[in-house]
Chain A
């Protein structure tokens, strides 16, 4: 069990290092502070959506409509702001509510009408795309009124002040250490096996260094991008949800064996509908970030983002059958996808080859996953 995990993580780490090294050599800009800051924003957008995708895939479903939803919900907010002159927070609140409602309905179709999520969300993919284009009348809708920044536009243009960045990093490191030590003590008290003290120290030390390195690098450009904070909050919330709440346990139980979950008294319908509803909220938030990053709502916003999110999950070790997958794994998967996309954009790779490369990486990841699993089981 333990060795299986480390082998997997190891192979992912190698893949990441190889990808980064390749881009760094071919294009020295790749490691520039400016590009890493951009990469962070791109990662934040992909990974946030992947967090929601994890919640949907864990109980054995899938969401193909997320990309179209990103465009649609971002588009609704832009139209409300630009054409109807609504304040940005209100417009975004409305779009968020619509997102939750739509995904709540799709979740209900899955559990009550027993329609496969694949089909429902495939329908959603097309319907939302059509609605999106209707909403923005096939044109480009800015997200601001008269060039004034608003909450919508700052999502991807605001950076934490340099001092705040360091403070935040220090806070996270302290929280990490306290949390880790507490969990370790609790495990010891209950007689579970714990990691060697030195290993724990090394891990914490490494994590702290990475966090501060991240702050140093982003501060060299403008500071920690606000979108990274959004990702941090989302990922933390999903982490707590999946590991420390009954709801999270139920997600794994349903994905592991739905019939046994029902007999064990797991409220399967509520849990699945809940996972879709949260996905709705996350799609809306991702929609705001992605639209903000593009600067305006255009017909291509959100294209294929569902596949990037699914790819991030799969690369990060989430089983498409459900029941397996963790937040750190998905973050790692998203990082690999984001590096790949960012690097290719930097190299001005033509879109044809970008598609091919994305597809190849996804297939490769699944192939590796299947192979490792077979070998180790």
Chain B
């Protein structure tokens, strides 16, 4: 009934063959879809499928002319030059990171930058709060406009953000992973509000990893993959398995030269690990349990925000408060809680964000390579510069760092070369276990293959590798075993042979048993 009704509604937004390139790299290949008034339209796809790029385009962050193809809002060709243009056309985007000022009240936030005009340039605060109250009531949001934002929960903030968007007479809402940080009951409230908005004729684009939510609230779902819109399906006439299949839909090419190494004894054992988020104090990782053997690559896969980086950072002593559980390294309880102690015990982390957590950018290659190992390179408490040079040079050569000398500044190197420096720094500590968090993010294919080869060499040399990756082909191609996290818990564990993209994705989305057809 509903879908029939909305099918007759006018199209309010239509995208036609949109292509977006960044310096020659294609981010969006071919995106076409349409959105009708009074419709909630789901958008889903793997990490990197192009969702964020598409939003930035629709909201005017990437201005008209920086992409190919067109999109139309209310039948008119959209030529947005800025966020403000998109707002004027009635498009509002609710981002994951909310754009609210914590120290201001709900009312102040709703009218921030659009305060109702008043006499003599002063703001009429009575009117602000009066209008805010009317708006909140209109959309059935039970929040006091004089409440400070800081006192609200995540869910309530989200609602304020939506009301703020609607106060600007927006009739197209784009919600980017709106429930990522919400508790269960807050999700239900949000979905109810969206349904209510739909009945008022407002069109929403709902971007989410969570298939349950998409199926609960959307009229149609468009699947993106590798920058293309693959299919638009009516929710009533499809199922989760079909959506997942569209999301994955590709062969794993022979790009991943994983050689099985000889497995040895268990080196890292993690049991019933529960970790609280340091800010909220709520458990973020629960009942994590896995083990890692000498010579093994254990892949960890998860959708964004499911806790994979937090898990690594916690094991490395750099994130979260442990509520329970044990971590044993070589059979001994790992009681160390600081990165420097953990490195000494034989674990090392190569972070996904090398510019932030990996490198001292305005220092030389030599400075960065030896930074984690200086304590081992001293003689009479002074750095033995000969020994330091030998070590640095060893990794400079064996990792085939593309730079003229060790004295080149790291900031000048390419992404792949920088990644090798971070890797070299980690390896120089002579670790037993190496955590690689997205080791190939943002580097070119050649450098990727080199990193894969290094992983093989490491396991041959008896190291154990924990590989976190959001690229399923890489995860399947390079891991001996794969553990999938879903919302801070283990969502499934797979051997290399049984792992398929469909199964992994289903586990990552919390669908334990998907009937694949």
- Does B231 reach chain A (CB closer than 8 Å)? no
6 new A-B contacts at CB < 8 Å, known A246-B377, A267-B340 = A186-B385, A192-B407, A249-B371, A253-B371, A263-B351, A267-B338
Q: Whole-angstrom distance between the alpha carbons of A240 and B343 in the complex?
A: 26
Contact A190 B393 (CB under 8 A): yes
Residues of A within 8 A of B344 (CB): 265
| Nearest B-chain residue to A267, judged by Cβ | B340
Question: B318 within 8 Å of A by Cβ?
Answer: yes
Listed stretches A61-69, A203-211, A254-262; interface member? A254-262
Q: Is the CB of A245 within 8 A of B383?
A: yes
Using known A-B contacts A240-B382, A245-B381, determine if residue A263 contacts B339 with beta carbons closer than 8 Å.
Answer: yes
Q: Is the CB of A249 within 8 A of B383?
A: yes
Instruction: Tell me, yes or no, whether B429 is within 8 Å of chain A by CB.
Output: yes
Whether A262 lies near B318 (C-beta < 8 A) is yes
Write 13 A-B pairs (CB below 8 A) sorted by A numbering: A193-B405, A244-B383, A253-B371, A257-B359, A260-B356, A263-B316, A263-B357, A264-B339, A264-B372, A265-B339, A265-B340, A265-B342, A267-B340
Question: Is B407 touching A252 in the complex (CB atoms < 8 A)?
Answer: no
The number of residues on chain B lying at the interface, defined by a beta carbon within 8 Å of a beta carbon of chain A, is 39
Contacts of B362 in A (CB 8 A): 256, 323-324
A residues less than 8 Å from B385 (CB atoms): 186, 244
A257 to B422 Cα, complex, angstroms: 14
Q: Is the CB of B339 within 8 A of A192?
A: no
Q: Is A266's beta carbon under 8 Å from chain B?
A: yes
Min CB distance A272 to B, Å, is 13
- A263 lies within 8 A of B349 (CB): yes
A202 within 8 A of B: no
* A324 partner residues in chain B, CB cutoff 8 A: 362
B375 touches A246 (CB 8 A): yes
Q: In the complex, are the beta carbons of A1 and B409 less than 8 A apart? A: yes
The answer, among A253, A262, A265, for a CB contact under 8 Å with B363, is A253
Chain B residue with Cβ nearest A262? B339
How far apart sit A161 and B70, CA to CA, in the bound complex (Å)? 87
- By the criterion CB–CB under 8 Å, are B357 and A259 in contact? yes
- A265, B373: Cα distance in complex, Å: 9
B378 touches A266 (CB 8 A): no
Point out the residues of chain B lying under 8 angstroms from A267, CB to CB: 338, 340
Residues of A within 8 Å of B348, CB to CB, are 265
Report whether B363 and A252 are in contact in the complex, using a CB–CB cutoff of 8 Å. yes
By beta carbon, the residue of chain B nearest A183 is B385
Question: Which chain A residue shows the least CB distance to B338?
Answer: A267
Cβ A252 vs Cβ B374 within 8 A: no
Instruction: Give A121-165 as 1s and 0s: 1 = Cβ < 8 Å from B's Cβ atoms.
Output: 000000000000000000000000000000000000000000000
Partner of A265, one of B358, B377, B383, B429: B429
* Contact assessment for B339 and A260 in the assembled complex, using a CB-CB cutoff below 8 Å: no
Chain A residues with Cβ under 8 A from B339's Cβ? Answer: 262-265
The distance in angstroms between the C-alpha atoms of A191 and B338, with both chains bound, is 37
Minimum CB–CB distance for B314 against chain A, Å: 13
User: What number of A residues sit within 8 Å (CB to CB) of B?
Assistant: 27
Residues of B within 8 A of A261 (CB): 360, 371
CA distance A98 to B340 in the complex (A): 30
Is residue B361 contacting chain A, with contact meaning CB distance below 8 A? yes
Cα of A49 to Cα of B18 in the assembled complex, Å: 62
With both chains docked as a complex, state the minimum distance between the C-beta of A186 and any C-beta of chain B, in angstroms.
7
**What is the bound-complex CA distance between A350 and B383, given in angstroms?**
49
* B425 in the interface (beta carbon within 8 A): yes
Q: Are A257 and B349 in contact (CB under 8 A)?
A: no
Is B367 in the interface zone, CB < 8 Å from A? yes
Bound-state Cα–Cα, A24 to B344, Å: 59
The smallest beta-carbon distance between A250 and chain B, in angstroms, is 8
Q: How far is the CB of A238 from chain B (nearest CB, A)?
A: 14
Of B351, B371, B382, B409, the residue contacting A245 (CB under 8 A) is B382
Given contacts A1-B409, A262-B318, A265-B429, contact A252 B378 (CB under 8 A): no
Query: In whole angstroms, what is the CA distance A312 to B375 when docked?
Result: 32
Q: Does B446 contact A (CB under 8 A)?
A: no
Instruction: Specify the chain B residue showing the minimal Cβ separation from A257.
Output: B360
Within 8 A of B (CB), among A232-249: 240, 244-246, 249
Complex Cα distance A224/B339, Å?
A: 48
Quick check: is B125 within 8 A (CB to CB) of the other chain?
A: no
* Shortest Cβ gap from B349 to chain A (Å): 6
- A252 / chain B contacts, CB cutoff of 8 Å: 360, 363, 367
In the complex, the answer to whether B363 meets A260 with C-beta atoms within 8 Å is no
> Chain B nearest CB: distance from A242 CB in Å?
11
The answer for the CA separation of A259 and B359 in the assembled complex, in Å, is: 9
Q: Which residues in A have their C-beta under 8 angstroms from that of B351?
A: 263
- Chain B residues whose CB sits within 8 angstroms of the CB of A264 once the complex forms: 339, 371-372, 425
The CA-CA distance from A261 to B429 in the complex, in Å, is 14
Check B360 against A192 for contact (C-beta < 8 Å): no
In whole angstroms, what is the CA distance A52 to B372 when docked? 25
A248 to B377 alpha-carbon distance, docked (Å): 14
Q: Report whether A266 and B361 are in contact in the complex, using a CB–CB cutoff of 8 Å.
A: no
Q: How far is the CB of A377 from chain B (nearest CB, A)?
A: 9
A250 to B362 CA separation, bound complex (whole angstroms): 14
Enumerate chain A residues within 8 angstroms of B95, measured Cβ to Cβ: none
Least Cβ distance of A113 to chain B in Å?
16
B405 touches A192 (CB 8 A): yes
Q: List A contacts of B383 (CB < 8 A).
A: 244-246, 249
Across the interface, name the chain A residue whose C-beta is closest to B409.
A1
Which residues from B are CB-within-8-Å of A246?
A: 374-375, 377-378, 383
Q: Answer whether A260 and B357 are a contact pair too, CB < 8 Å, given A244-B383, A266-B340, A323-B362.
A: yes
Q: Which of B338, B357, B378, B389 contacts A190 (CB 8 A)?
A: B389
Q: Specify the chain B residue showing the minimal Cβ separation from A252.
A: B363
A249-B371, A263-B318, A263-B351 as given contacts; A257 in contact with B405, CB under 8 Å: no
- Minimum Cβ distance to chain B for residue A94 (Å): 28
Residues on B with C-beta less than 8 A from A191 are 405
Q: Give, as a whole number of angstroms, the nearest-CB distance from B359 to chain A.
A: 6
Per the bound structure, the CA–CA distance linking A244 and B377 in Å amounts to 11
CA distance A60 to B366 in the complex (A): 22
The answer to whether A263 and B358 touch (CB under 8 A), given A240-B382, A244-B382, A245-B383, is: yes
Q: Which of B357, B361, B386 has the most CB of A within 10 A?
A: B357
Docked complex Cα distance between A350 and B407 (Å): 49
Determine the chain A residues whose CB is within 8 A of the CB of B386 once the complex forms.
Answer: 186, 190
Nearest 6 pairs between A and B by C-beta?
A256-B360, A246-B374, A265-B343, A265-B340, A263-B357, A264-B372
Q: Which residue of B lies closest to A255 (CB)?
A: B360
Q: A317 → chain B, closest Cβ, in Å? A: 13
Given A246-B383, A323-B362, answer yes or no on A259-B375 (Cβ-Cβ < 8 Å): no
Q: Are B429 and A260 in contact (CB under 8 A)?
A: no
| Chain B residues in 8 Å Cβ range of A244 | 382-383, 385
Task: Tell me whether A249 and B374 are in contact in the complex, defined as CB-CB below 8 angstroms, given that A260-B360, A323-B362 are known contacts.
Answer: yes
- Name which of B360, B375, B381, B405 has the most chain A CB atoms within 10 A of its CB: B360
Cα distance, A243 to B415, chains bound together (Å)? 28
Question: Bound complex: CA of A290 vs CA of B373, how far in Å?
Answer: 41
In the complex where A244-B383, A246-B378 touch, is A257 in contact with B361 (Cβ < 8 A)?
Answer: yes
Contact with B along A304-341 (1 / 0, CB 8 A): 00000000000000000001100000000000000000
**A195, chain B: closest CB distance, angstroms:** 14
Q: In the complex, what's the smallest C-beta–C-beta distance from A185 to chain B, in angstroms?
A: 11
Contacts of B382 in A (CB 8 A): 240, 244-245
Contacts of B342 in A (CB 8 A): 265
B405 x A256 contact (CB < 8 A) = no
Report how far A264 CA is from B374 CA in the complex, Å. Answer: 11
How far, in Å, is A9 (CB) from chain B's closest CB?
19
Question: What does the 1/0 interface line of A23-40 toward B look like (CB < 8 Å)?
Answer: 000000000000000000
Q: Which of B360, B381, B407, B429 contacts A253 (CB 8 A)?
A: B360
B436 CB to closest chain A CB (Å) equals 13
Tell me if B367 and A249 are in contact (CB < 8 A): yes
Nearest-neighbour CB distance to chain A for B317, whole angstroms, equals 9
Q: Which residues of A contact B425 (CB under 8 A)?
A: 264
